[in-house]
Structure 1
Amino acid sequence: MPEPDSEGWVRVDHGEDEILAEELAALGAVVGGSRRLTRLVAKLMRKNVHEIDLEMPLPFDDAVRRVAKVLGHAGRAVGSMHVEPGVDQETIRVVTSGGAGGMNPVVVTALVTKGGMGSSKVRLRAAAKEGLIKQRAGEKTAARLAGWLSE
């Protein structure tokens, strides 16, 4: 399990690289490409990653439900992980579309942590592979979802 940083946040491991490689391989196979070759190339590509910290004026359980609902509307769930038993943290992960024409898969991970006095903290992380044309799909997706969460 990844170690928490100085603020207690747990950094995402390379699992998102595996998810992105598999998603790109599936897209490549749909258009007649080699799934295996596309997966290999995807693993070598750079990632565009963007993280945004949010304060939500909601109790922890309500914040988790809100984040799960917003991310659920944005994409397909690929896992929900408890960071540590007994700790008021919940991680929600989805794969959504980004980039030109929505053809670039983006892995979005939200870590919801109990804050003080009926509030919660959310660290939103969006990661996408970048090809020759920089689309900044991770940055744009994180900003879009942060806006939806702030509404």
Structure 2
Amino acid sequence: MKGFIFAILGLCVLSGVTGCGSGGESGAIVRWVSPANDSTFTKGAAIPYEISTQNFNLRIPPSYMHHMSHNVLTRSGDHGDEEIDPTATEGHYHIYLDDAEGSDPHLTQWGTTGAFQLADDISSGTHSLRIELRNNDHLRVGIPGSEAILFFDVE
């Protein structure tokens, strides 16, 4: 009987270590497929891109279904960075230029392809686009792999 109890305890410990049935991180990953890092664009160009995700399904945010379209640069107060949802397995993403974050101007998207429009007055030199996975309530997923940065040059 004592051996049986130890076997059961061992299984409980093992299942806790392997994460079976636990509410751990989703493993959501996003990657830039194109353009290549260090590509060069002109001022005012639309940067065509493609991304891929793993363990994360892209979908239109429910609150946007009737009044939002792709490729719209927005500035919204409901995109805080304080809270995260590391268990998220579906949602959308934001693309930020350079050091922008949270409710700073960003592109909200839910497709794997799109274009990011550069301003005509963007400075020449090296810039970055950061993609950030968000859940359906606009919370950052906030785990390693749920953000990706692309560096590019502007002539």
Aligning the two structures, in what range does the TM-score lie when normalised by the shorter sequence? under 0.3
Q: Which has the higher helix share?
A: 1
Which structure would you say has the larger RCO, counting Cα contacts within 8 Å and 6 or more residues apart?
Answer: 2
Q: Which has the larger radius of gyration?
A: 2
TM-score when normalising by structure 1: 0.28
TM-score when normalising by structure 2: 0.28
